[in-house]
Structure 1
Amino acid sequence: MSRRTSNSSSPVRCASCAQALDYAARARVLTDSSGLPSGPACYTSALVEGTASRTDLALARARSGVEASRQEDSQVFLSRNLFALGHLLLVTGRPKEALEALEEVRDLEALQQVHDPSVLRWHPDMAESLVTLGHLEKAHELLTSTRRTATDLGRPSVLPALERVHALLDAAHGHYDTAARRLTDAADRLGHLPIERGRTLLALSHTERRGRRRANAREAAQNAADLFTAHEAHPWAQAAADSLNRLERNPPHNSDRPRLTQAEQRCAQLAAGGASNRDIAAALTVSVKTVEATLTRVYRKLGVHSRVQLAHTVGPGRE
């Protein structure tokens, strides 16, 4: 049973979302009726429902799986449910909480002596959380070491997701052209995994918009929306639709807004990712008053009035 439930999320990676939802529901029924540990079924349901159904329900499944696995003293499925929880927290805009969950996954894998990054692919999500929170050096170190390990072990399937996050790191440094090339190349290598390809195209759309190439941003977002819709990945389809709506809603003259300085850009990205002024000050090694003054300049330059609007304007990769 554990093996079945741990692998039944595979149809999601191949984009058979309806089939994956059916598998997950059957796994829960079998688990409940037979009295088996609930951690495996919670893990499967969290990943599948987060891709194909509702992220709020998926988060509840992941949290239940974490609690059950702790009670059952199952380190294997504790790490898996924490991975699902971290992933879902990241994609729903809570990178600080996501990082906490994913750091525990890392620690658990170290205890279990798991070194293969293809076993449980938490590394790209952890790196993305670090980028979103402004910990760019730590993100770079994680991406570099994971790429080296994947290459040494012959795990090329791990690399496109790492490239996607490396592109977000490039964008965080203001290198939008380099980021767009990375994302385009990664998307081209993900034709066999439509959901991952769509996620990469959505990141490309955000990067192109930040690089002031609105037509390219629309095309990438539309391609992502088409993929997600065709494969019934409803939360991601909604995210792509929201990106398209924002592109249509924001007037073209916004592309002529003043560019932010590097310090302003990093401060804005941290704020957009949900970090408090105190967290930003600690991350950038400045005072809280300096953060407040910097954000005031950012708001004035970008013509925004809240952190929600700021996230729509400068949030890395996903908004």
Structure 2
Amino acid sequence: MSAGNAPPGPVVIFDADAIDLYDPPRTPPAVVDRESCAVADLVGQTRIAEVMSIIDAEATPELIARILDADPQQVLSALAWMTQAGVVDGGRIRDPELRRRLGHQMSIDTRKRLHGKAAVALHESGAPATTVAGHLSAAGSFGYPWAATVLRNAADDLLAMDQIGRAVEYLEAAYRATTEAGERAEISAKLVSVEWRVNPSPATRNFARLNTALQTGRLSASTLPAVVRYLLWHGRVDEARAVLDLVERDRAMSRGVPTAELAFLRSWIAYSYPELPKPRTTTQPAATVPEASCVQVIAANLLTGVLTDCAGETTVAAAHRVLSRHRLDSSTLDALTTALECLIYSGQLEIAAAWCDTLLAEAAARCSPTWQSIFAGLRSEIALRQGDLAAAVRLAMAALNYVPAANLGTSIGRALSSCVLALTAAGRYDEARAQLDREVPLTLFDSRFALPYLRARGHYSLAMSKFDDALLDFQVCGSMMRRWRMDIPGLLPWRNDVAKAYLLAGDQRRARAFVTMHLDLLGDPGRHESGAVSLRLLAAMEADPRAELRLLRRAETIARSGHDRHELAVVLADLARAHESIGERDRARSVEQTALRLAGECGAGPVRDRLIGDRTAPSGTPSENTGAPPDVGSLSAAERRVAELAAGGSGNREIARRLGITTSTVEQHLTRVYRKLRVRRRTELRFLLRKPL
């Protein structure tokens, strides 16, 4: 590349395929003419172009010279000729096709060697970690003492931009680049954290590496809180206990996990996995950290508030502060979900829905199916509490399908329970049964996710007239809530559920006792929407039609002030019947039309069917498609007594008087009788029960 021997004009013929770049033409030393100089210049320019195709935007004369071990001035001169020839423009090869051909004609070894030299040169020149890491990865050579650090830093930068695939690639390269066991353990923990965003599987190579690092004690204290969460997510309770012991031991020695983070970890475990023994501590953490400056401290206080008075102004304000000030990432995920739950349980469903939609969109934008599953499950619970059954099912199914359900661990309980409750309320019993047939981890019952799951299973059992099964689930749920000190009406009104089961089983005394206990816990029925359910259940046990009407009107007022359109539809359906019973037929018809509209909007098939008098079996009853004859033996004793009296021609009020139950209870028994026996009207009962008119 001698400027003195260069031709008078630039070399404009640049055919990369015409030159063997690493076997240039050899001219006898004694014969150096103008033509050989031109060829030598062309070869040199091609080598420069080749390097430029490798480093592309980072190309500078100095960097190219370092990679080629050439004179920077000669490189600069050659670049000037190439620019005049139109080959280079703005420091880059102008033609993309030429860049591609240059790359393809190089051998693999040559390409890797150039990438390796580029990585070294770029690192020494202070280039960004992502730039250097790209060349290291392409070179497949990590034998530099700084390689692992650069690769890890590049992975962190890529994660901030949600480029998860490349981040995993660089972390895997960093794992191979280092021989330090402790650093490999840290990289394994990081890889599990990244993989967890996409698919939280415990069957990956990196999860196995993490377990090995944990057993050999090579994990640093800063990684342990996240490890505890992963282990509990997958139900590995004993291993999680062992890690917690390590965390507490290190903390007792004034080292390891920061105080604020440890405070949140303790509160989160007490809230999410209350069966896990509380760690033995001698100090109260987080007292020295300003609350406004640390999301972990705010979230720890928020968890305490949820377990005491989730509707308190201080707790709700803290929830708003967490949601408005912190972006979604791995470190804020649990705090953000806790804040959403606080808003849900305090009855601020519209605000919670808006925040949840925002976080769900952010989770999608940040390429995290796991986060999408978590927020879709929360959004499903909100939709269920709003009485939007179709949306609750749709969102719950999405939550169960963003990642394989088997990898959802204990968190499957939330989406599964919302799905089953919504399907049951919609009368889609076969689908609800199919969801309940899903396998759930046994450790689900060590977590708070067991509560909604038991409730959902209990309500399905009620719909199937399996009162004993329903009572067992509801009572176990209540026992857990009391033992875990979570007996909060806004969280789960289990006493109402028990009362409903007793009422449908014909035990009004026990039903009234549990309704009264729930109202006593509320203090004022209007304090929470569950008060409307309590009043409706009391109305169903009221023998005086006027007293029943008063209770239902009060229940209607509470239901209208809340968010649950399904509950309002049920209250209005009962209210229409109550107006009819005292002769207020016009009023009954008006209320019935409103109830029908709401039931249609909610997708509440059983409510709609009861209102329009369609006593055909809903399209999901267990025996409908079997082709078997109606099974009279499937009726409970209470249902059989009511069915026999109805078949004999007795009216609902007469049946209620003779059996000592309310008219509403009679109607509910008959609804189940019609569904089980697949009949439309009571005159058909006499053929099945062999009772004369």
TM-score using structure 2 length: 0.34
Partner of 1:44: 418
Partner of 1:252: none
Distance 2:647 2:580 in 1: 18
What's the C-alpha RMSD, in Å, of the aligned pairs? Answer: 3.8
Partner amino acid for 1:245?
G
3-state SS in 1 of match to 2:523: helix
Q: Is residue 156 from structure 1 mapped to residue 521 from structure 2 by the alignment?
A: no
1:201 alignment partner, one of 566, 569, 572 = 572
1:118 alignment partner, one of 490, 498, 504 = 490
Q: 1:190 to 1:74 in 2, by over 3 A?
A: same
3-state SS in 2 of match to 1:68: coil
Distance 1:33 1:298 in 2: 46
Equivalent residue runs for 1:154-193 within 5 Å? 155-170=527-542, 174-191=543-560, 192-193=563-564
Which structure carries more helix by proportion? Answer: 1
Partner of 1:315: 665
Q: Is the 8 A contact 2:531 2:558 kept in 1?
A: no
Q: Deviations over 1:209-253 (max 9, x none)?
A: 555665554443332111121x242424xx323432369xxxxxx
Distance 1:187 1:152 in 2: 15
Deviation at 1:116, TM superposition (A): 1.2
Q: 1:203 to 1:245 in 2, by over 3 A?
A: same
Q: Is the 8 A contact 1:187 1:201 kept in 2?
A: yes
Partner of 2:512: 140
Distance 1:124 1:245 in 2: 27
Deviation at 1:84, TM superposition (A): 0.9
Partner amino acid for 1:138?
R
Partner amino acid for 2:380?
S
Q: Is the 8 A contact 2:559 2:567 kept in 1?
A: yes
Q: Is the 8 A contact 1:118 1:155 kept in 2?
A: no
Distance 1:74 1:115 in 2: 16
Q: Is the 8 A contact 2:481 2:487 kept in 1?
A: yes
Partner amino acid for 1:132?
L
Which has the higher mean CA deviation after the structures are superposed, 137-146 or 67-76?
Answer: 67-76
Q: Is the 8 A contact 1:96 1:275 kept in 2?
A: no
Q: Is the 8 A contact 2:465 2:636 kept in 1?
A: no
3-state SS in 1 of match to 2:440: helix
Partner of 1:83: 455
The unaligned stretches of length 5 or more in structure 2 are 1-370, 616-633, 672-693
Distance 2:485 2:545 in 1: 37
Q: Is the 8 A contact 1:42 1:64 kept in 2?
A: no
Equivalent residue runs for 1:159-308 within 5 Å? 159-170=531-542, 174-191=543-560, 192-208=563-579, 216-229=587-600, 231-236=601-606, 239-245=607-613, 275-276=636-637, 300=648, 302=650
Q: Is the 8 A contact 2:529 2:558 kept in 1?
A: no
Task: State the structure with bigger RCO (CA 8 A, min sep 6), 1 or 2.
Answer: 1
3-state SS in 2 of match to 1:315: helix
Deviation at 1:48, TM superposition (A): 2.9
Q: 1:303 to 1:11 in 2, by over 3 A?
A: closer
Q: Is the 8 A contact 1:43 1:81 kept in 2?
A: yes
Q: 1:302 to 1:211 in 2, by over 3 A?
A: farther
Q: Deviations over 1:257-311 (max 9, x none)?
A: xxxxxxxxxxxxxxxx95427xx9xxxxxxxxxx98x99777646069xx9xx99
TM-score using structure 1 length: 0.69
3-state SS in 2 of match to 1:9: helix
Q: 1:275 to 1:296 in 2, by over 3 A?
A: closer
Partner of 2:470: 98
Q: 1:125 to 1:53 in 2, by over 3 A?
A: same
Partner of 1:54: 428
Q: Is the 8 A contact 1:27 1:41 kept in 2?
A: yes
Q: Is the 8 A contact 1:50 1:235 kept in 2?
A: no
Partner amino acid for 2:597?
D
3-state SS in 1 of match to 2:521: helix
Partner amino acid for 2:499?
A
3-state SS in 2 of match to 1:8: helix
3-state SS in 2 of match to 1:302: coil
